[in-house]
């Protein structure tokens, strides 16, 4: 059993709460910009700390006047936008508990969350969401308040309605609601994605958010301190990762922006020009693959590949503490003008760091990005840890790991390899589920269900999920994530699921990237209209085999994928094969594609 911990850089007092951050910002820098919100013309309008506090208080008064009492749950169902952050803090200012709902959630998922949380109100983004909630209101008797952010039929919208509703409420009444909250009061109730069974409501306190945000900001000064720092959120705020960065941005404070349309993300990055990005590995993989594909289409594929190799060599030298030789310096300088600068421009032009979580980025890609002057700091966390419980130091990242523990917390590796965690950033309990809480916590240690290891300097590596470990017929234990992450990094691959439990060898189900496939087909003179024939095409199979070979390079032969099968469909949230946070529902995929899995072993 190994254990590692770091001393806290920020500690939370018993009376601290998230709304204190707003009061502090307005008092210390009343004219400082804390948020930039989209304008109707597509630009950005700055909001000062004083203006944001005033708007939060006005909306909070409306919630109190509408019957929201301290401890009441209020749900938010919306894409990432300014109003989400405004409402989130307003709910806290009113003493309430926010309950995020993915805007892509099915009616059954919405019903379960509202019913289980006993939410007294919900604010939805648009009419379609409102119709979903209206249809199930009879099943949720506690639900009294239903508001829509986007105005309908000449209406005023949720923000204006709440502001009007609270206009007569006194400051003393609002203060009484706010002052009912302590550091250990619930701040939010987040329902886990639910890869198996019904989602569990995870209770996170004000202490958990402040502990995580305070220590992240203190440990990463170049990202959160200094003049003109900013972050553009585009991940869903219904997920704990984006939610914590939202809090950290306001805590620091740095200029916070929101965008929800991935189709316009490149333009939004160019206009907002953030100094910090956060994303999941798939975003960084797509940026790399798209840039490489464009270079090849323009006859510059060889230049791009040489530039990529140079960036990786440069970064690997940094990891080894080696100074670059003259030849490497000259090549790196040349490719900075030809390739790297354009890639950084596509990411907004000013960002030097990004935070990545949710899955493994991959060592080669991690070195590539650091080599072009854009360091991706990988981290690790779960809903139960209020997002990051480990992350790479800005000045000593160890590529291939998820970094060191959050300051003030501890990581322990159990005898069976499971990662255990302890700290003030952990969840309080599962809502209405004492049994699940008791199963997850032992003597203050949270059992993550992940398998990992700690090196001598406290850097954590995650190798897979305990429950997802496959055991082949030959008795070999296989961690699917190691191989899947490598295979999925290939431009042609959308998703990959490794199979082989109680089977003679390891196989894989693979779906193709619908964005990249037409490019590949055009380059190779293939007819994409006949999908069935294309999936049997020898050249396509060979290209996917190269992706499989990349995955196999990370494991032993006994763990390697011997056969794979291309699926004509996609894994998605709509088909029920992915959670809202894009994790595979393995049992659902295994059930729905049982025939395809059996076919791998028929011969």
Distance from C-alpha of 278 to C-alpha of 276, rounded to nearest angstrom: 7
> What phi-psi label fits residue 582: left (phi over 0), alpha (psi between -120 and 50 degrees) or beta?
left
- Tokens for 367, please give them: 């070195």
245 is a domain residue: no
Indicate the DSSP class of residue 339: I
Distance from C-alpha of 240 to C-alpha of 247, rounded to nearest angstrom: 10
Distance from C-alpha of 570 to C-alpha of 511, rounded to nearest angstrom: 6
CA Rg value for the chain: 25
* Residues 508, 454 within the same domain: no
The residue from 167, 182, 197 where one domain ends is 182
* pLDDT tier, 554 (very low <50, low <70, confident <90, very high otherwise): confident
242 is a domain residue: no
Q: What are phi and psi of 124, to 5 degrees?
A: -110, 165
Q: Which domain holds residue 303?
A: 279-421+434-464
Distance from C-alpha of 328 to C-alpha of 465, rounded to nearest angstrom: 40
* Residues 448, 539 within the same domain: no
The residue from 464, 485, 515 where one domain ends is 464
- pTM for the model stands at 0.88
pLDDT in tens, 453-468: 999 999 999 988 888 8
Q: Where are the beta strands (DSSP E) in 383-515?
A: 387-391, 404-405, 410-413, 418-422, 429-430, 441-442, 445-454, 460-465, 470-471, 477-478, 493-499, 506-512
34 is a domain residue: yes
Distance from C-alpha of 386 to C-alpha of 511, rounded to nearest angstrom: 32
* Residues 460, 559 within the same domain: no
pLDDT in tens, 126-164: 999 999 999 999 899 999 999 999 987 767 899 999 999
260 is a domain residue: no
Distance from C-alpha of 232 to C-alpha of 277, rounded to nearest angstrom: 7
Distance from C-alpha of 187 to C-alpha of 423, rounded to nearest angstrom: 17
pLDDT of 196 above 60: no
* Residues 294, 412 within the same domain: yes
pLDDT in tens, 397-449: 999 999 999 999 999 999 999 999 999 999 999 999 999 999 999 999 999 99
In this prediction, residues 192-214 reach a mean pLDDT of 87
* Residues 566, 454 within the same domain: no
270 is a domain residue: no
89 is a domain residue: yes
* Residues 48, 167 within the same domain: yes
Task: Write down the pLDDT at residue 264.
Answer: 85
Distance from C-alpha of 294 to C-alpha of 470, rounded to nearest angstrom: 38
Give the CATH number for residue 547: 3.30.300.30
C-alpha 247: how far from chain center = 14
Task: Write down the pLDDT at residue 449.
Answer: 92
Give the CATH number for residue 412: 2.30.38.10
Task: Write down the pLDDT at residue 603.
Answer: 63
* Residues 407, 512 within the same domain: no
Give the CATH number for residue 133: 3.40.50.12780
* Residues 388, 346 within the same domain: yes
pLDDT in tens, 57-97: 999 999 999 999 999 999 999 999 999 999 999 999 999 99
Distance from C-alpha of 198 to C-alpha of 148, rounded to nearest angstrom: 27
Task: Write down the pLDDT at residue 197.
Answer: 62
In DSSP notation, 189-219 reads EEE---SSSSPPEEEEEHHHHHHHHHHHHHH
Strands 276-279, 353-356: pairing is parallel
Distance from C-alpha of 498 to C-alpha of 477, rounded to nearest angstrom: 13
CB 377 within 8 A of CB 403: yes
Percent helix, strand, coil in the chain, to 5, is 40, 20, 35
Task: Write down the pLDDT at residue 194.
Answer: 53
* Residues 93, 131 within the same domain: yes
CB 303 within 8 A of CB 339: yes
Residue 167 burial (C-beta neighbours within 10 Å; 0-12, 13-18, 19+): exposed
339 is a domain residue: yes
* Residues 507, 595 within the same domain: yes
* Residues 299, 447 within the same domain: yes
371 is a domain residue: yes
- Tokens for 425, please give them: 């950033």
Distance from C-alpha of 317 to C-alpha of 511, rounded to nearest angstrom: 36
Strands 418-422, 121-124: pairing is unpaired
Report how many domains make up the chain: 3
The residue from 182, 197, 229 where one domain ends is 182
pLDDT in tens, 340-391: 999 999 999 999 999 998 878 889 999 999 999 999 999 999 999 999 999 9
Q: Please, what is the average pLDDT of the chain?
A: 93
Residue 303, C-beta contacts closer than 8 angstroms, at least 6 positions apart: 295, 335, 338, 339
- Tokens for 564, please give them: 């794979």
CB 144 within 8 A of CB 121: yes
CB 399 within 8 A of CB 366: yes
pLDDT of 509 above 90: yes
- Per DSSP, helices labelled H in 320-441 are 326-335, 341-346, 363-371, 434-440
* Residues 589, 448 within the same domain: no
Cα four-point dihedral sign 281, 283, 284, 290:
positive
pLDDT in tens, 22-54: 999 999 999 999 999 999 888 999 999 999 999
CB 495 within 8 A of CB 489: no
Strands 375-382, 353-356: pairing is parallel
């Amino acid at each position: 059993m190994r254990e590692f911990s770091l001393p806290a850089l920020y500690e939370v007092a018993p009376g601290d709460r998230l709304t204190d951050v707003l009061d502090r910002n307005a008092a210390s820098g009343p004219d400082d910009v804390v948020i930039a919100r989209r304008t109707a013309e597509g630009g950005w309008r700055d909001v000062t700390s004083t203006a944001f506090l005033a708007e939060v208080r006005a909306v909070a008064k409306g919630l109190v006047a509408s019957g929201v009492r301290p401890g009441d749950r209020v749900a938010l169902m919306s894409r990432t936008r300014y109003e989400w952050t405004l409402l989130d803090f307003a709910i806290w200012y009113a003493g309430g508990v926010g309950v995020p709902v993915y805007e892509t959630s099915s009616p059954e998922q919405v019903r379960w969350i509202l019913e289980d949380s006993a939410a007294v109100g919900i604010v939805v983004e648009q009419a379609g969401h409102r119709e979903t909630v209206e249809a199930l209101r009879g099943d949720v008797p506690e639900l009294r308040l239903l508001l829509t952010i986007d105005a309908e039929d000449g209406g005023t919208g949720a923000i204006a309605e709440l502001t009007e509703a609270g206009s007569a409420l006194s400051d003393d009444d609002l203060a009484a609601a706010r002052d009912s909250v302590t550091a250990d009061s619930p701040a939010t109730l987040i329902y886990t994605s639910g890869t198996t069974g019904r989602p569990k409501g995870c209770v996170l306190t004000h202490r958990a958010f402040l502990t995580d945000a305070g220590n992240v900001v203190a440990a990463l000064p170049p990202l959160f301190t200094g003049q003109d720092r900013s972050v553009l959120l585009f991940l869903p705020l219904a997920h704990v990762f984006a939610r914590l960065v939202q809090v950290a941005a306001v805590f620091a404070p740095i200029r916070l922006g929101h965008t929800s349309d991935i189709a316009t993300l490149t333009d939004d990055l160019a206009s907002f020009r953030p100094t910090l990005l956060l994303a999941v590995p798939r975003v960084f993989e797509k940026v790399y693959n798209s840039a490489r594909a464009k270079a090849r289409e323009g006859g510059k594929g060889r230049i791009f590949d040489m530039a990529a190799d140079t960036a990786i060599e440069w970064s690997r030298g940094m990891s080894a503490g080696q100074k670059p030789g003259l030849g490497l310096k000259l090549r790196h300088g040349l490719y900075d003008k030809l390739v790297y600068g354009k890639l950084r421009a596509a990411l907004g032009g000013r960002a030097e760091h990004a935070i990545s979580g949710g899955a493994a980025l991959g060592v080669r890609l991690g070195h590539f990005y650091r080599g072009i002057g854009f360091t991706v700091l990988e981290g690790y966390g779960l809903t139960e840890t209020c997002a990051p419980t480990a992350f790479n130091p800005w000045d000593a990242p160890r590529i291939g790991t998820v970094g060191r523990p959050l300051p003030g917390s501890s990581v322990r590796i159990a005898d069976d390899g499971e990662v255990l965690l302890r700290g003030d950033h952990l969840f309080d309990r599962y809502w209405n589920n004492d049994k699940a809480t008791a199963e997850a916590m032992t003597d203050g240690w949270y059992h993550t269900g992940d398998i990992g290891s700690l090196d001598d300097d406290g850097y954590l590596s995650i190798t897979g999920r305990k429950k997802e470990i496959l055991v082949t017929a030959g008795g070999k234990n296989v961690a699917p994530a190691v191989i899947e992450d490598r295979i999925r990094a290939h431009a042609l691959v959308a998703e990959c699921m490794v199979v082989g439990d109680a089977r003679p060898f390891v196989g894989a189900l693979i779906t193709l990237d619908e964005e990249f496939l037409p490019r590949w087909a055009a380059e190779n003179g293939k007819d994409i209209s006949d999908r069935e024939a294309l999936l049997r095409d020898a050249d396509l199979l060979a290209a996917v085999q190269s992706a499989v070979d990349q995955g196999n390079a990370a494991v032993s032969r006994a763990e390697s994928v011997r056969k794979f099968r291309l699926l004509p469909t996609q894994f998605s949230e709509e088909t029920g094969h992915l959670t809202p946070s894009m994790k595979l529902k393995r049992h659902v995929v295994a059930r729905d594609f049982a025939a395809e899995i059996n076919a791998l072993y028929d011969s």
